[in-house]
Chains A and B, each alone.
Chain A
Amino acid sequence: MFITGIGWVTSGGVGKGNSADPFDFKKGALPDISGNDFPVNPIFRKGRLDRFSLLGLEAIAIALKDAGLYEYNIKRHIGIVASTVFGCLVTDLDFHETVTPENNTLPDPNLFTHTLPNIFLGYAAMLFGLTGPNYILYEKESRGHGALYSAVESIQSGECDIMLAGICDVEPPDGYIYNDAFRPGAIFIMIENNPCDKQNYGKLTVDKNGNIYLNNLIIEDIESCVRECIKKA
């Protein structure tokens, strides 16, 4: 299987693999996300999205473009696995502020919908016609090894031939950082089982111990995977 697309939104900027965009995954505030690149959909209202969903969706859209899979006519069996540290915690707290049973009023239903971290995967599926497996993995650091491994495993077990694997986290609320290594951002890579003669960033393999290799070099996380891909490109 091969990596055929890369997209990222980090505090270092927005970019895709096949470009001169500098890749920097560091601490700091994320850039504003316009969402102007999202395709038109009659039931998709960008203004209703929380920031976590916007961030993940933007990075997925860029990775799809980089892999030449942005445009489509019929739905494709492409899956998405995303690792996160905090998920939609910010949205949880925003929603909770609207829960005021003493006032006998109902809280915000739109915010409630966005208190599930997998919602942005649903938006991506809806906008880009992706019918494959999709779920969120929580991890202690923003590494994405679990997402990368699970995506590879889904391909190996015959569940799906094309998978997006990535990480997604917005800045947590004040006081919530429990790991100094935490960095906000979204990075997604496209993995294809059989891309034929399509341009790619390298070959991914996995051993029985769960180690992942890119062109025979061991890959610790999504960040090192992207750095290796860009170096090759």
Chain B
Amino acid sequence: MDRYYAGVASCIEGLEQGGNRSLVYELIDRVLENTGIVPSDTFLITASTKAGIDRIVDSVKKPPSDYSDSFPQHIADYICDRFSLSGETLHISAACASSTVAIARGAALIKSGRYDSVLICCYDLVTEFVFSGFCSLQAMSPAACKPFDKNRKGMSIGEGAATLLLMNEKKARELGKKTMGIISGWAVTNDATHITRPDKDGCGLALAIEKSALMAGINTDSISAICAHGTGTLYNDSMELAAYKNVFGSRNIPVFSVKGAIGHTLGAAGGIEAAVSLKCLMHGVIPPTTGFTDPDPDAAGLVSSGPVKTDIRCILSTNSGFAGVNASVIMERG
């Protein structure tokens, strides 16, 4: 089987195995090339679910000593070297909420006054390991996924990476950096109900949203749009719609998912979606939810198959994952 997995996974074109290291380095190189200048006193937080698993599992057949550079700690060293950072790092693993948790920790580090800038780098690959695992759980859609659609049949996995450079206001001003948005609130919660199935009432996600708003010092009425997790699985999308109803009542708040377009990038999803959310803030446009054609009754009036122009002052981005984890961040216009 090639890396394109019969067209049901979203792989990055031209990203092919080469040399003796994990393909994840090639993926990271691509995103680092576009990251720009990072101050050397920046703290690094990386996030991924399976890091260099493509090489680690090869150790079943070959001596494992060759594969230690596929562990997340060593991948973080590589990124530090690229930007001549001091080497202080954290690598976060929290299933599909990994990079949203990383953004939350980065924002907390800056809020504490310990660091002026934090680089978030999140990444995950499509591998046979992950693809076959989700197939075994019967979670995969036979065609491209359809988030919040009545006829959704599961998820499509994708691969990707993103970097986000977080700074306090003083540092950004010193360096003349343009502010894309302000991270004003965040929260991480657990459903505490099931390992693989989300809480059907969405109580854990609702709690995360409410706590994020409390930290941001805003009423949830101030939230203009939601970048949802929106995997296209029956259970996840229903849980999210229940949580949004729980928090926002009957308000028709615009909701979108990028996973119909790029697939579920697992540990990178939250970082990529936060970046998309910042673009929404800057341009006042909510992107279409690809694959959404026949609305789930609970999604009608919230999700759209086309772009929506609107005044967005405050956007919420959420992710949920196995082990019952939920994470949310609130970003406001800078």
Q: Which of the candidate stretches A27-35, A99-107, A183-191, A219-227 sits at the interface with the other chain?
A: A99-107
Nearest A residue to B113, CB-CB = A208
Known: A112-B133, A126-B324. A93 touches B57 (CB 8 A): yes
Set of chain B residues within 8 Å of A137, measured between Cβ atoms: 90-93
Contact present for A140 and B73 (CB under 8 Å):
yes
| Alpha-carbon separation in the docked complex, A123 to B192 (Å) | 8
| Stretch binding the partner chain, chosen from B29-37, B63-71, B277-285, B289-297 | B63-71
Minimum CB–CB distance for A96 against chain B, Å: 4
Q: Does A70 contact B (CB under 8 A)?
A: no
A202 smallest CB distance to B (angstroms): 22
* A113 lies within 8 A of B90 (CB): no
Q: C-beta contact mask, B44-70 vs A, less than 8 Å → 1, else 0?
A: 000001100100110110011100100
Interface-facing stretch out of B11-19, B103-111, B160-168, B171-179? B103-111
Compute how far the CA of A99 lies from the CA of B54 in the bound complex, rounded to whole angstroms. Answer: 13
List chain B residues, Cβ under 8 A from A118.
Answer: 93-95, 322-323, 325
A130 to B323, CA, bound (A): 12
| A79 surroundings in chain B (CB, below 8 A) | 188
The answer, among B73, B97, B134, B207, for a CB contact under 8 Å with A138, is B73
B64 pairs with A175, CB closer than 8 A: yes
- How many Å lie between the Cα of A153 and that of B128 in the bound state? 37
B323 touches A92 (CB 8 A): no
Indicate whether A130 sits within 8 Å of B322 (C-beta atoms), given known contacts A106-B136, A107-B133, A208-B114. no
Q: Specify which chain A residues have a CB less than 8 angstroms from the CB of B193 in the assembled complex.
A: 126
Does A73 count as interface, using CB distance less than 8 angstroms? Answer: no
Inter-chain contact B188/A135, CB cutoff 8 Å:
yes
Q: B65 contacts which chain A residues (CB < 8 A)?
A: 175, 178
Could you tell me if A135 and B73 are in contact, using CB atoms closer than 8 angstroms?
no
- Is A132 at the interface (CB under 8 A from chain B)? yes
Q: For residue B109, which residues in chain A have a CB less than 8 angstroms away from its CB?
A: 153
Bound together, the chains give a CA A75 to CA B186 distance in angstroms of 21
- Interface members, chain A 27-84 (any B CB < 8 Å): 43, 75, 77, 79
- Contacting residues, chain B, for A112 (C-beta < 8 A): 132-134, 136-137
Residues in A114-132 with C-beta less than 8 Å from chain B = 115-119, 121-123, 125-126, 128-132
Complex Cα gap A112–B132 (Å): 9
Query: Which A residues are in CB contact (< 8 Å) with B128?
Result: 99, 101
B28 at the interface (CB under 8 A from A): no
Pair A92/B56 contact, Cβ less than 8 Å: yes
Chain B contacts of A136 at CB under 8 A? 92-94
CB contacts (< 8 Å) of B129 on chain A: these are: 92, 95-96, 99, 115
> Cβ of B271 < 8 Å from any Cβ of A?
no
> Contacts A116-B95, A136-B93 given: A95-B133 contact, CB under 8 Å?
yes
Is the beta-carbon distance between B73 and A115 smaller than 8 angstroms? no
Q: Mark A149-183, 1 if CB is under 8 A from B, else 0.
A: 01001101111000000000000010110100000
Q: Does A89 contact B (CB under 8 A)?
A: yes
A97 within 8 A of B: yes
Question: Which of B63, B105, B190, B207 has the most chain A CB atoms inside 10 A of its CB?
Answer: B190
- Among B131-183, those with CB < 8 Å from A are 132-138
Q: Give the docked Cα–Cα distance between A173 and B57 (Å).
A: 12
Contact of A75 among B97, B132, B192, B211 (CB under 8 A): B192
What are the residues of chain B within 8 A of A210 when measuring CB–CB? 114
Contact between chains at B215 and A158 (CB < 8 Å): yes
**Chain B residue nearest in CB terms to A129:** B192
A200 CB, nearest partner CB in chain B, Å: 23
- Asked if residues A134 and B188 are in contact (CB atoms below 8 Å), the reply is yes
Cβ of A133 within 8 Å of any chain B Cβ, yes or no, is yes
In the bound complex, do residue B133 and residue A175 qualify as a contact, i.e. CB atoms below 8 Å apart? no
Q: Contacts A122-B190, A126-B192, A136-B94 hold; do A157 and B132 have CB atoms under 8 A apart?
A: no
Whether, in the assembled complex, A5 has its beta carbon less than 8 Å from a beta carbon of chain B, the answer is no
Residues of A within 8 A of B113 (CB): 208
Beyond A96-B129, A178-B68, whether A106 also contacts B323 by CB under 8 A is no
Q: Is the CB of A122 within 8 A of B189?
A: no
- Bound CA span A208–B53, Å: 36
- CB of B57 within 8 A of CB of A146, answer no
Q: What are 6 residue pairs bridging A and B, where the CB atoms are less than 8 Å apart in the complex?
A: A89-B56, A93-B59, A112-B134, A119-B323, A126-B324, A157-B108
The 9 A-B pairs at the shortest CB distance, nearest first, are namely A122-B323, A133-B188, A112-B133, A135-B94, A125-B190, A109-B136, A138-B91, A125-B192, A136-B93
Given contacts A133-B187, A153-B112, 10 further A-B contacts (CB under 8 A): A92-B129, A95-B129, A99-B129, A116-B95, A121-B325, A131-B192, A131-B207, A132-B189, A140-B73, A159-B215
Chain A positions near chain B (C-beta within 8 angstroms): 43, 75, 77, 79, 85-87, 89, 92-93, 95-97, 99, 101, 106-109, 112-113, 115-119, 121-123, 125-126, 128-140, 146, 150, 153-154, 156-159, 173, 175-176, 178, 208-210
